[in-house]
């Protein structure tokens, strides 16, 4: 069985949004979950967080940044092309989907997304919006051209705040500085923060919210390799105990995550990834 690409949209020079025809997964998906993708029968399996889904129309949306050989192959495909495997939904849904309506309506959420992290944040914000829950969203990037899904997010969030390192749009500085401004200067009150993005960013968001006394969830989706718990590459220490990001997460209490260990583990296969990426670039002439 193969899975057809229904739509493809370039978000940044190295980031592509695709809608994949996958009705069974679309009917079962929940915010926070991921899929395993294999481009062809000889390709590696990669986990990608679900960026949106439509049970009625039968599609699942993914957003992929070109960082290695497999993502280069995937992002080169066009509408009408097919991919070999598209398996899911996998992982545990976001915890809030199991909370009662009364509990949710008593909360105010702040989502902090970095770069491509805006993609997995979107279905969470959309789900909460559809259930009448108030959310604010911060999306951060190095500059304006690297911000993604801002128009989509603006339709779902109560307030959308942008932060850029170079000040080309929105808050001039890191997302942590904007979090402090919203809470300490603007008097915003949040019951829970959810952060998704680069591991270093999440580490400092967690440190900031710990000082501010706000419970925080971090998604460790970028740590996953195999996505089934068999490879062990996504082991992470949370509160002094060992978990697997793919089967026990990908979301964890950010104040309990050993981010330094996670950052070291994330770089374990960098050399092999760079070699494969270089070989693939030569093959594709890019």
pLDDT at 68: 84
Q: Which residues contact 250 (CB under 8 A, 6 or more apart)?
A: 32, 34, 49, 91, 92, 219, 220, 221, 223, 224
The answer to the question of residue 138 being in a domain is yes
Q: Which two tokens stand for residue 237?
A: 């220490």
Residue pLDDT, tens place only, 140-195: 999 999 999 999 999 999 999 999 999 999 999 999 999 999 999 999 999 999 99
Is 281 part of any domain?
no
Whether residues 23 and 138 share a domain: the answer is no
CA separation for the pair 232, 227 (Å, rounded): 9
Per-residue pLDDT reduced to its tens digit, 236-256: 999 999 998 888 889 999 999
| 73-105 tens-digit pLDDT | 999 999 999 999 999 999 999 999 999 999 999
Token output for 177: 């500085």
Query: What's residue 245's pLDDT?
Result: 87
Kindly report, residue by residue over 215-231, the tens digit of the pLDDT: 999 999 888 776 667 77
Reported confidence tier of residue 279, pLDDT bands at 50, 70, 90: low
- Domain boundary (28, 62, 90) is at 90
Q: Are residues 80 and 189 in the same domain?
A: no
Local confidence band at 276 (pLDDT 50, 70, 90 cut-offs): very low
Q: Are residues 137 and 257 in the same domain?
A: yes
CA 84 to chain centroid, in Å, comes to 23
The better pLDDT of the pair 202, 285 is held by 202
Residues 82 and 119 in one domain: no
With respect to residue 70, please indicate whether it lies within any of the assigned structural domains.
Answer: yes
Model pLDDT, residue 10? 97
What percentage of residues in the chain have a pLDDT greater than 90? 79
Helix (H, G, I), strand (E, B) or coil at 72: helix
Q: How many domains does one find in the chain?
A: 2
In a domain, 96, yes or no: no
Q: What is the mean pLDDT of residues 192-213?
A: 97
61 forms bridges with which residues in the sheet? 19, 52
Could you tell me if residue 277 is inside a domain?
A: no
Shared domain check, 119 and 53: no
- Do 84 and 155 fall within a single domain? no
Whether 117 and 24 map to the same domain: the answer is no
Tell me the C-alpha to C-alpha distance, in Å, between residue 273 and each of 29, 223, 252, 254.
Answer: 30, 14, 26, 27
For residue 52, the enclosing domain spans 3-90
Evaluate whether residue 17 is within a structural domain. yes
Which residues, other chains included, contact 277 with Cβ-Cβ below 8 Å and sequence gap of 6+?
67, 68, 69, 72
Q: What's the CA gap between 160 and 29, in Å, rounded?
A: 25
pLDDT tens by residue, 116-148: 999 999 999 999 999 999 999 999 999 999 999
Q: Do residue 130 and residue 262 come from a single domain?
A: yes
**The pLDDT of residue 278 is above 50:** no
Instruction: Note the pLDDT of residue 45.
Output: 87
Does residue 106 lie within any of the structural domains? yes
Do both 120 and 35 map to the same domain? no
Note whether 78 and 201 are same-domain residues. Answer: no
Do residues 35 and 169 share a domain? no
The CATH number linked to 218 is 3.40.50.80
Domain harbouring 80, CATH code: 2.40.30.10
Residue 146 located in a structural domain: yes
* Residue 282 pLDDT: 54
Do residues 127 and 208 share a domain? yes
């Amino acid at each position: 069985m193969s899975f057809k690409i229904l739509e493809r949209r370039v978000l940044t020079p190295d980031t592509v949004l695709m809608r994949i025809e996958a009705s069974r997964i679309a009917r079962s998906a929940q915010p926070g979950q991921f899929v395993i993708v294999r481009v062809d029968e000889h390709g590696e399996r990669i986990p990608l967080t679900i960026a949106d889904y439509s049970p009625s129309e039968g599609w699942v949306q993914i957003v992929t940044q070109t960082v290695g050989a497999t993502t280069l192959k995937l992002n080169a495909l066009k509408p009408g092309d097919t991919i070999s495997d598209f398996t899911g939904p996998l992982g545990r849904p976001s915890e809030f989907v199991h909370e009662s309506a009364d509990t949710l309506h008593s909360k105010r959420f702040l989502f902090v997304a970095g770069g491509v992290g805006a993609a997995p944040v979107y279905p969470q914000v959309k789900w909460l919006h559809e259930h009448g829950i108030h959310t604010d969203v911060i999306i951060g990037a190095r500059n304006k051209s690297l911000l993604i899904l801002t128009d989509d997010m603006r339709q779902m969030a109560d307030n959308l705040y942008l932060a850029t390192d170079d000040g080309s749009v929105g808050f001039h500085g890191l997302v942590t500085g904007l979090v402090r401004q919203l809470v300490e200067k603007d008097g915003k009150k949040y019951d829970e923060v959810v952060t998704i993005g680069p591991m270093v960013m999440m580490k400092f968001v967690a440190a900031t919210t710990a000082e501010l006394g706000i419970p925080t969830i971090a998604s460790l989706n970028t740590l996953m390799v195999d996505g089934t718990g068999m490879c062990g590459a996504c082991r992470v220490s949370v509160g002094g105990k060992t978990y697997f990001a793919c089967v026990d997460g990908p979301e964890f209490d950010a104040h309990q995550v050993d981010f330094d260990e996670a950052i070291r583990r994330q770089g374990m296969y960098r050399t092999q990834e760079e070699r494969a990426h270089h070989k693939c670039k030569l093959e594709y002439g890019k």
